[in-house]
Amino acid sequence: MLVPCRAYHPFCIYGLLVALLTATSCGNRSADLPGHPLVETVPSEEAAARSLPADAAPPERQVFRYFSNEPSSLDVSVALYESLGSAFLFERLCMVDENEGLIPGAADRWERSSDGRTWTFHLHPGARWSDGTPVTAHDFEYTYKRLLHPDSGNVYAFFYYDIKGAKAYNQQKIDDPDLLGVRAVGDLTLEIETEEPCAYLPYVTSYTASSPVPRWQVEKYGARWTEAGRCVSNSAFRLDEWEQGKYMTFRLNPHYKGNNPGHLRKIVRLFSGTAGTGSASGGVGLLPYENDEVDLVGVGSPADLDRIRNDPGLSEQLWKFNGVSTVYLFFRTREPPLNDVRVRQAIARAIDKQTIADVLFKGAVRPAYGMRPPNFPGYSGEKLRHLQQFDPESARRLLAEAGYPGGRGFPDLEVWLRDAPPSSQSGQAVQMIQEQLLDILGIRLEIRNMQANAFNRLMYEWKIPMGMVGYGADFSDPQSLLGVPWRSQPRGFTRHDWINARYDDLIDRARKETDRDSRMRLYEEAEWILTSEVGGAFLWHDHRFQLRKPWLKGLKRDRAGFYPFWENNTVYTEMYIGRERLGG
C-alpha cells in the first residue's frame, strides 16, 4: 500500500555535479543551483513527447534525477548484470504495467496458434530507432539469435530455452541459427516457435534481456556499440551523455512513434559505484535526497527507516511496495556433506529467520518458507512453512541422523556472499546465521565476501560450497521463480547444481500446460519438493521502500494498493514532474 511514512540503494554524493548536470545555460543563474533543474527543450523531441497532465510542471522542468551504479555496458540482452538499471532505454516486444500485466511495447498485438507452439507478434508501424532507422521484425530476429549464441557470454541464455532449438544451439549441439524458432515474416511480423506449448512466452519477450539491439551498430563497433555517440535505442529515450565515473544523461528519442511515449525531457543518472559490484561501493544514505539533489532514493537500512518514520517531514515521502524476490542459501549438493538432504534440512531448521526479520531488519522483510513471495501467483508459503520453519530439536536430530551428532566430525564450511561486507544488512544476517548454526548444530561457518561479477561466474560454475543470494521474479508467472533458476541444466547454464527428476518433470509439464489451474497444481507440487529437499534454504522476502519527492507523479496504483517503482515496466515513460517542483 501507499505508506505516507516519509526516507535502498547505497549512493555517492555529487552535490555540485547534480546542479551542473540538471541545469542549462539559459541566462537564469538561479536555475543553476541544486534543486532547480532545467532542460533546454528541442522542437523535434517535443514532437515525440507525451502530452503533459494539467498538474505537471512545464516541459523545461521535466527532469528526473537519481543515483545508480554505473553500467559497464548498456547491452542489456547479453550483459544483463553489467547493464543493470538500463532497461528503460529499450522497448521489448511486450512490456508490463504496474500489475506486471502485459501491455503493447514494440508489438501492438500478439496471438498464439491453435496448437500453442507458435506466437505471432505484430510490430507497431512507423516505429524508429533513435538514429531514425525503422524498427523491424528482423531486428528482433537478430537479437534473439545473438543472445542465444554460445559465444555471446549471456548468462541468461537458459531463460529462452522454451524457444525451438534454443537449448541445442546455446549448448552447441547444433550450430545453425536458422534452426532456431525465431523468424521475421516481413518487416512487421515476428514468429516465435516453441518446443512445447508455452503459455507464458509473451512474458519472456517482456523480460529486460529481450531488449532489441541495432545490428548495424553491433557489427560496426562490436562490444563498444553502447558507448556515448554510438548507442542507438528504440524506446522513448536515448543516451545523451556518458561521463565515465560521474554520470550519464538521457533525453527523448526524437524519432519515437511507439506505444509508450515519455513525459520526462531529461533523466540524470548519477553514479554511485559500478554495476555488478553490488553494495560495497557506495553507501551515503539519504543526504543527497535531503539536499534536493535527487528526486528518489531507495531505503534499505532499518536505521534509516526508523529515522524517517520519526521525522515529520520525511515520513510523508516514504513509500512502500511489495518486493518479488527471495533471499536464500544454496548448496553444492553433489558433494559431501551437503549432498545429504538431512544436513541441508538441519541447516534450514536451525535458522531463526523470524528473529532475523524482526530484530535485524525491523520488519522490513518477511520470513520466507518457499521460493514464491506473498501476492505472487500460486503463493503457498503457509502450506510449506513446516518444511523449513525454525525447529532446533528437529535440526539436531536430522544432523545426528546424518552422522554428525552435536556437529562432531562435521567439516568447517564456507558461506560466500555477493558483495555484502560485514556492515551490510546481508553481512549481518549471515553473522546471525553463523551464530545460530554454531549454537544449535555445532557447525562452524567461515564467511567469505566476493565481488559480485566474480561471485556470479563461480556460482554458474558450481564452485561455491554454500552461498547466500537473492533472486527476483522476471515476470509474473511461477515459471519465473520455480523453473528458471531451479530446473536443472548443465554446469555453466544455470545457478545451482541441485537436481531432482520429479521436480524437473513437474516443471516441464507445467511449462506446456495451457490450463491455468492445472499449471498451478503442478508448480505447487514442484515447490513442495524444492522446499522439502532444501534445494535452497529460504530466508526472507523483501519489502521495498523509497523516498519520493512530492513532485514525482504518474506512478500507478497496483491491485494490492501499492504504487510500485519497477525499472522493468513503463514507470519511466509514465512519471512526470508536478507543479510542486516550481516552489522547490
The grid coordinates listed for 151 are 559465444
Which one has a higher pLDDT value, 154 or 15? 154
Q: Predicted confidence band at 474 (pLDDT cuts at 50, 70, 90)?
A: confident
Q: How far apart are CA 517 and CA 303, in angstroms?
A: 43
Q: How far apart are CA 286 and CA 545, in angstroms?
A: 12
Residue type, 19: A
pLDDT tens for 285-307 read 799 999 999 999 999 888 899 89
Q: How far apart are CA 101 and CA 559, in angstroms?
A: 11
Span between the terminal Cα atoms of the chain, in Å? 27
Q: How far apart are CA 479 and CA 483, in angstroms?
A: 4
Catalogue all structural domains in the chain, each as residue range(s) with its CATH number. 15-76+220-319+546-583 (3.40.190.10), 88-218 (3.90.76.10), 322-542 (3.10.105.10)
The grid coordinates listed for 435 are 551464530
C-alpha separations of 267 from 18, 54, 134, 217, 221 in Å: 12, 21, 24, 23, 25
Q: Does residue 449 carry a pLDDT above 60?
A: yes
The grid coordinates listed for 108 are 501492438
> Rounded mean pLDDT of 408-418?
97
Q: Predicted confidence band at 275 (pLDDT cuts at 50, 70, 90)?
A: low
Q: Predicted confidence band at 28 (pLDDT cuts at 50, 70, 90)?
A: very low
Q: Does residue 2 carry a pLDDT above 60?
A: no
Which one has a higher pLDDT value, 34 or 504? 504
Give the contacts of 537 (CB within 8 A, at least 6 positions apart): 328, 329, 330, 331, 344, 347, 348, 351, 388
- Predicted pLDDT at 431: 97
The grid coordinates listed for 416 are 560466500
Contact 569, 98 (CB under 8 A): yes
pLDDT tens for 348-396 read 999 999 999 999 998 889 999 999 999 899 999 999 999 999 999 999 9
- Predicted pLDDT at 182: 98
Total residue count of the chain as it appears in this document: 584
Q: How far apart are CA 374 and CA 393, in angstroms?
A: 28
Q: Predicted confidence band at 274 (pLDDT cuts at 50, 70, 90)?
A: low
- Predicted TM-score (pTM) of the model is 0.82
Q: Does residue 281 carry a pLDDT above 80?
A: no
Q: How far apart are CA 96 and CA 573, in angstroms?
A: 12
> Rounded mean pLDDT of 44-53?
98
- Predicted pLDDT at 284: 54
- Predicted pLDDT at 83: 86
Q: Predicted confidence band at 491 (pLDDT cuts at 50, 70, 90)?
A: very high
- Residue-wise DSSP of 294-354: -SEEEE--HHHHHHHHT-TTGGGGEEEEEEEEEEEEEE-TTSTTTTSHHHHHHHHHT--HH
Q: Does residue 248 carry a pLDDT above 60?
A: yes
Residue 455: count of CB within 10 angstroms of its CB: 22
Contact 206, 475 (CB under 8 A): yes
- Predicted pLDDT at 4: 37
What percent of the chain is predicted at pLDDT more than 70? 92
> Rounded mean pLDDT of 203-208?
94
Q: Predicted confidence band at 15 (pLDDT cuts at 50, 70, 90)?
A: very low
- Predicted pLDDT at 413: 96
> Rounded mean pLDDT of 44-73?
96
H helices present in 213-293, as ranges: 215-221, 287-290
Cell numbers 531514425 correspond to 132
Q: How far apart are CA 195 and CA 119, in angstroms?
A: 12
| DSSP conformation class of 330 | E
- Residue-wise DSSP of 356-380: IIIIISTTSEEE-SSSSPTTSTT--
For residue 344, the Cα-to-chain-centroid distance in whole angstroms is 28
Q: How far apart are CA 95 and CA 284, in angstroms?
A: 33
- Predicted pLDDT at 280: 32
- Predicted pLDDT at 363: 84
The grid coordinates listed for 60 are 523545461
Choose the most confident range, by mean pLDDT, from 135-139, 274-278, 289-293.
135-139
> Rounded mean pLDDT of 489-511?
95
Q: Does residue 6 carry a pLDDT above 70?
A: no
In this structure, are strands 182-184 and 189-193 parallel, antiparallel, or unpaired?
antiparallel
In this structure, are strands 63-70 and 266-274 parallel, antiparallel, or unpaired?
parallel
Contact 328, 468 (CB under 8 A): yes
> Rounded mean pLDDT of 147-151?
96
